[in-house]
Amino acid sequence: MKKTIIAIATIAVMTPTMALAGDHNKGAAISYSGPVDTVTVAELLEDTGMLTERNAVVEGKLIKQINAETFIFSDGTKEIQVELDDDIRLPQTIDATTQVRLFGEYEGGNTPEIEVDRLQIL
């Protein structure tokens, strides 16, 4: 009887917590229109060491598609390869003239690239 009461009490306490804890990455993204700290591709390419990793936000255009998830990105200073996360979905088609903001992680190495977590059309 005591174990049953403890189990019911535990479920009663945990259920609202689990319901509210859902995956916060799903659903509506935050729509922020204020200033964002960005970096140029030229600045990123100053460090191409094999162990280089850093968060990066860049603005420019996807100027060429290599395969389903890989593109060449240009911000007007230099070009870099970018890999878009396969979860990225856009409500409209973009082309080489569409201005975008990419949020991701820059990785140096033989082929420096940005692994993009989020893409915002500007």
Which domains occur in the chain, in start order? Answer: 41-121 (2.40.50.200)
pLDDT at residue 8, rounded to an integer: 59
pLDDT at 52: 93
φ, ψ dihedrals at 83, nearest 5°: -120, 120
Q: Which residues contact 60 (CB under 8 A, 6 or more apart)?
A: 41, 73, 74, 75, 76, 99, 100, 102
pLDDT reported for residue 74? 97
pTM of the model: 0.72
Q: Binning pLDDT at 50, 70 and 90, where does residue 33 land?
A: confident
pLDDT at 36 over 60: yes
**How wide is the angle at C-alpha 116 spanned by C-alphas 115 and 122, nearest 5°?**
150
Q: What is the pLDDT of residues 94-118, one digit of tens each?
A: 999 999 999 999 999 999 999 999 9
Average pLDDT over the chain, rounded to whole?
Answer: 83
For residue 85 the two structure tokens come to 């996360």
One-letter amino acid of 110 = N
Higher pLDDT, 19 or 3: 3
3-class SS at 106? strand
